[in-house]
């Protein structure tokens, strides 16, 4: 294992141990999806066209996205609050890699919401859990969490460089749920919102995971969704890399790494 990979894995493990007892992120990964899943299934279960798989995938993705939104936008400021930011920056390790590893730990933790969503459907509402294309679903999940992790990486420096943007991002949680079709199909939205949906990784994550779980998307359709997950996630990661450099240079110029 190379030093960089070791560092990323260790960072993920440190983060995993921290988020596992972090009440705020537990809310994002467990309680919020629990309420969304139970409420939506309760409201929609009597409709003739109701598909529990749609709610399961939407609930899981909402939990993963919320956790990464909160963890990502607070990733650097959290290190500043606990006084480790200066230690990380003044170490020879890549700060981008360290935060990347930390958010990877959060991402793994956020998968709890997927288990929870299935648990709600199976145990509380008695729906059979059947994934139409398990292999494709696994690949879709992998692409989805990678793209959502990249989204978290994009939020991390953004929230530090422009504090107001950081606050604004937190307010985008539900609009992004809606624009990505996590809670209801985007066909219900006005047509002009479609281009916005198309640049959001959660939208392509939902397309791929819904399609693989229900089996109503053919392979070209899935490949298209995976390609756009790769494209949108990759673009956000590249921008994030550039923003991280800006954060470090600006912090060294302005002296803003420590709280005091």
Partner 1 sequence: MLRRSVGAIELRDVRRLFRATTGTLRRHTKEIVALDGLSLDVGEGELFGILGPNGAGKTTTIKVLTTLLIPTSGTATVMGLDVVRDAKEVRRKIGFVFGGERGLYYRLSGRDNLRYFAELYAVPPREIRSRVEELLDLVDLRPRGDERVEGYSRGMKQRLHLARTLLHRPRVLFLDEPTIGLDPIGARELRRIVRQLHEGGATIVLTTHYLFEADELCDRIAVIDKGRAVALGTPADLKSNVSDLSVVELEVFGIDAGTVERLRALDFVDSIVVEQRELRQVLRVQTRIAERAVAPLIAAVAAGQVGRVAVREATLEDAYVRLVGRVE
Applying CB under 8 A, the residues found at the interface with partner 1 are 3, 6-7, 10-11, 14, 17-18, 21, 82-84, 86-93, 98, 252-255, 257-258
In the bound state with partner 1, the residue whose beta carbon lies nearer, of 23 and 220, is 23
- Dist. CA 105–CA 102, nearest whole Å: 5
In the bound state with partner 1, the residue whose beta carbon lies nearer, of 45 and 163, is 163
Q: Least CB distance from residue 4 to partner 1, whole Å?
A: 9
Q: Where are the alpha helices (DSSP H) in 83-122?
A: 85-89, 95-110, 112-119
In the bound state with partner 1, the residue whose beta carbon lies nearer, of 13 and 184, is 13
- Dist. CA 188–CA 56, nearest whole Å: 19
Please give the DSSP secondary-structure letter assigned to residue 28. Answer: I
- Kindly give the interhelix angle for 201-214 and 52-82, rounded to the nearest 10 degrees: 140
In the bound state with partner 1, the residue whose beta carbon lies nearer, of 39 and 91, is 91
In the bound state with partner 1, the residue whose beta carbon lies nearer, of 45 and 252, is 252
Q: Least CB distance from residue 260 to partner 1, whole Å?
A: 9
Question: CB-based contacts of 243: which residues, under 8 Å, 6+ apart?
Answer: 154, 157, 158, 161
Q: Are 212 and 133 in contact (CB under 8 A)?
A: yes
Q: Least CB distance from residue 173 to partner 1, whole Å?
A: 26
Q: Are 109 and 67 in contact (CB under 8 A)?
A: yes
Q: Least CB distance from residue 94 to partner 1, whole Å?
A: 9
Q: Least CB distance from residue 192 to partner 1, whole Å?
A: 39
Q: Write out the two tokens for 178.
A: 């809606």
In the bound state with partner 1, the residue whose beta carbon lies nearer, of 39 and 256, is 256
Residue 24: its H or E element: helix 23-26
Q: Least CB distance from residue 102 to partner 1, whole Å?
A: 11
- Dist. CA 7–CA 1, nearest whole Å: 10
């Amino acid at each position: 294992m190379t030093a960089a990979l070791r560092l990323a894995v260790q960072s993920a493990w440190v983060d995993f141990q921290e988020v596992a007892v972090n009440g705020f992120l537990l809310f994002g990964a467990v309680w919020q999806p629990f309420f969304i899943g139970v409420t939506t299934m309760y409201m929609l279960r009597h409709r003739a066209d109701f598909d529990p798989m749609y709610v399961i995938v939407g609930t899981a993705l909402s939990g993963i996205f919320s956790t990464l939104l909160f963890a990502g936008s607070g990733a650097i400021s959290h290190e500043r609050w606990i006084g480790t930011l200066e230690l990380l920056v003044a170490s020879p390790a890549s700060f981008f890699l360290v935060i990347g590893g930390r958010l990877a730990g959060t991402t793994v933790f956020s998968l709890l919401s997927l288990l929870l969503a299935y648990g709600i459907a199976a145990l509380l509402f008695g729906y059979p859990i059947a994934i139409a294309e398990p292999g494709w679903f696994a690949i879709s999940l992998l692409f989805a969490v990678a793209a959502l992790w990249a989204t978290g990486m994009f939020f991390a420096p953004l929230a530090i460089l422009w504090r107001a943007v950081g606050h604004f991002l937190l307010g985008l949680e539900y609009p992004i749920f809606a624009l990505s079709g996590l809670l209801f199909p985007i066909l219900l939205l006005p047509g002009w919102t479609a281009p916005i949906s198309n640049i959001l990784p959660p939208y392509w994550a939902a397309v791929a995971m819904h399609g693989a779980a229900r089996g109503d998307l053919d392979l070209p359709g899935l490949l298209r969704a995976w390609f756009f997950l790769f494209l949108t996630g990759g673009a956000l990661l590249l921008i994030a890399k550039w923003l991280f450099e800006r954060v470090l240079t600006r912090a060294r110029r302005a002296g803003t790494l420590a709280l005091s």
